Amino acid sequence: MNLNDTIEDDKAAAGQSVGAVRSAGKKVFLKTYGCQMNVYDSQRMSDALAADGYSSTETVEDADLVLLNTCHIREKAAEKVYSELGRLRDLKAEHAAVGRELTIGVAGCVAQAEGREILRRSPTVDLVIGPQTYHRLPDALARVRRGEKVVETDYALEDKFEHLPQPTRRDIVARGVTAFLTVQEGCDKFCTFCVVPYTRGSEVSRSVAQIVAEAEQFAAAGVRELTLLGQNVNAWHGVGPQGADWGLGQLLERLSQIPGLTRLRYTTSHPRDMDDALIAAHRDLPAVMPYLHLPVQSGSDRILKAMNRRHTAADYLALIDKIRAARHDIALSGDFIVGFPGETDDDFEATLNLVRAVRYAQAYSFKYSPRPGTPGADMADHVPESVKDARLQRLQALLSEHQRDFTVSSVGKTMSVLIEKPGRLPGQRVGRSPWLQPVIVDETAGEIGDIIEVRITRAGPASLFAEPVSSAG
């Protein structure tokens, strides 16, 4: 696992509406919590709902169906879902008072983890559906319309991706010039702090043929940058065209051959699955961007062992050296948990020392949050919240210092930027550097989807500003 642990934070947990399906009929409001894989799942659910006659709405009051695609990584995220369900209960009552029906569904990891408990705590919910069964969503809604309360959380025997309708070219175009593509789901690592193996199941890899076909579809619709997703994405493995076993490095090489796909990324990785072929892909494939999210969680060997990470701090640092030797300009991103049960001041100092050694360009850091059913929740010596708070502030101050240094170091450099969308201010466009930094340019610099060469002129608090040098494609 690590994808949810990597990306989910308070901002992500606040939710974002997703999807633009264009079929006549009832309207769906779909709200997504958590990680990038949930965003991808929401898009695929939107595709399935479009085939079932639903169109999307960005206004919850207009919806006939409200679907919450949930995250269960942290207690705060799960409780926000229940708070949202309380508000939807009132909306459902308002609809009923004027003769309108409102169907409420909960999908994703909270649905998988809590199942019928959701119906007990929120009786106005009509549908609970887990992440392995969302291809059954139209059938589940048909059962709801017949008066059932539906809970679909059994792990599907069939391949859900084989049963999902393909997104239309129009929908892909509407989603922009970057896209996510799930290649792997689940996790077999069983880190003691993590609920993902219980909510997403064991590691499953999609086939090469499925992945290539979907990537080609994205490229044909104008997608320039593709991010491969998995809870433990570098554990992906499959059978290549000649019957050879492939890992993620070989898959990236195959995807780099697709015309139009000029940028490839992947997240989230586990250090134990970072093999030589994948490192070589960073060295040899220009399409693979020089940015790697490689969570470590702690710099203390004692805490890493308690977390069941199955690597030491020295193992991790040696791996970083190997990766940087292959790609000297690579930027590293990481995850950190402070206040894991039993963490002492010395353990925390070891984490700070590892951060100083690596100097992350970006990182996500959280206080330990016990999740029911995980071994960590039952451990002794839980750290007081006040200590967690103090440690988190110190860690985040150090990470922010390094992130600022990385941002400022870009000033004066020339780099390629993929223009993704209009800027907030008139006359601006926003692109993305190879290192995932937002870059603001004048709208005359190029069109959305162009990759241009720019020189970074200054660094703002959250983005870079640039002037074009020449077009690169």
**What pLDDT does 165 receive?**
63
Whether the predicted pLDDT of 58 surpasses 50: yes
pLDDT in tens, 405-455: 999 999 999 999 999 999 999 999 999 999 999 999 999 999 999 999 999
**What pLDDT does 373 receive?**
85
In the structure encoding, which two tokens stand for residue 392, read together?
Answer: 């988190």
pLDDT in tens, 245-269: 999 999 999 999 999 999 999 999 9
**What pLDDT does 334 receive?**
97
As a dihedral over the C-alpha atoms of residue 144, residue 148, residue 153, residue 156, rounded to 10 degrees, the angle is -70
Nearest to 298 by CA among 269, 337, 272, 268: 337
**What pLDDT does 159 receive?**
62
Q: Specify whether the backbone of 211 is left (phi greater than 0), alpha (psi in -120 to 50) or beta.
A: alpha
Question: Cα–Cα distance between 464 and 404 in angstroms, integer?
Answer: 11
Looking from the CA of 245 toward its CB, the CA atoms found within 13 Å total 4
Question: Cα–Cα distance between 75 and 369 in angstroms, integer?
Answer: 7
Question: Cα–Cα distance between 168 and 38 in angstroms, integer?
Answer: 20
Whether the predicted pLDDT of 23 surpasses 70: no
Whether the predicted pLDDT of 73 surpasses 90: no
The model's confidence at residue 17, banded by pLDDT at 50, 70 and 90, is: very low
In the structure encoding, which two tokens stand for residue 364, read together?
Answer: 């996500």
pLDDT in tens, 215-255: 999 999 999 999 999 999 999 999 888 888 999 999 999 99
43-48 average pLDDT score: 86
**What pLDDT does 22 receive?**
35
Name the residue with tokens 């408990």.
117
Whether the predicted pLDDT of 472 surpasses 70: no
Q: Which residue has the higher pLDDT, 372 or 85?
A: 85
Q: CA angle at residue 412 from 409 to 413, to 5 degrees?
A: 80
- Cα separations in angstroms, 398 against 206, 236, 403, 408: 38, 33, 9, 16
Nearest to 254 by CA among 268, 264, 267, 266: 264
The model's confidence at residue 470, banded by pLDDT at 50, 70 and 90, is: low
In the structure encoding, which two tokens stand for residue 461, read together?
Answer: 């608090």
Nearest to 40 by CA among 306, 233, 243: 233
The model's confidence at residue 52, banded by pLDDT at 50, 70 and 90, is: confident
**What pLDDT does 41 receive?**
86
Q: Would you give the distance in Å from CA 83 to the centre of its chain?
A: 23
- Provide the terminal-to-terminal Cα distance of the chain, rounded to the nearest Å: 36
**What pLDDT does 173 receive?**
72
Q: Which residue has the higher pLDDT, 373 or 66?
A: 66
Most confident of 113-127, 142-156, 382-396: 382-396
Question: Cα–Cα distance between 190 and 193 in angstroms, integer?
Answer: 8
Phi, psi of 280 (to 5 degrees): -65, -30
Name the residue with tokens 């907030």.
424
**What pLDDT does 195 receive?**
87
**What pLDDT does 380 receive?**
94
**What pLDDT does 372 receive?**
82
39-58 average pLDDT score: 87
The model's confidence at residue 3, banded by pLDDT at 50, 70 and 90, is: very low
Bridge partners (DSSP) listed for residue 293: 333
Contact between 4 and 71 under an 8 Å Cβ cutoff? The reply is yes
**What pLDDT does 6 receive?**
34
Give this prediction's pTM. 0.82
Nearest to 18 by CA among 48, 4, 38: 38
**What pLDDT does 280 receive?**
98
Mean predicted lDDT score pLDDT of the chain: 89
Contact between 304 and 298 under an 8 Å Cβ cutoff? The reply is yes
Whether the predicted pLDDT of 24 surpasses 60: no
Contact between 309 and 192 under an 8 Å Cβ cutoff? The reply is no
Question: Cα–Cα distance between 360 and 222 in angstroms, integer?
Answer: 32
Alpha helix stretches (DSSP H) within 409-453: none
Bridge partners (DSSP) listed for residue 29: 66
Whether the predicted pLDDT of 7 surpasses 90: no
161-169 average pLDDT score: 68
Question: Cα–Cα distance between 11 and 296 in angstroms, integer?
Answer: 22
Question: Cα–Cα distance between 21 and 473 in angstroms, integer?
Answer: 30
Whether the predicted pLDDT of 12 surpasses 50: no
The model's confidence at residue 379, banded by pLDDT at 50, 70 and 90, is: very high
**What pLDDT does 9 receive?**
36
As a dihedral over the C-alpha atoms of residue 351, residue 357, residue 363, residue 368, rounded to 10 degrees, the angle is -10
pLDDT in tens, 286-337: 999 999 999 999 999 999 999 999 999 999 999 999 999 999 999 999 999 9
| Biggest CA pair distance of the chain | 66
Tell how many helices (H) and how many strands (E) occur in the chain.
17, 22
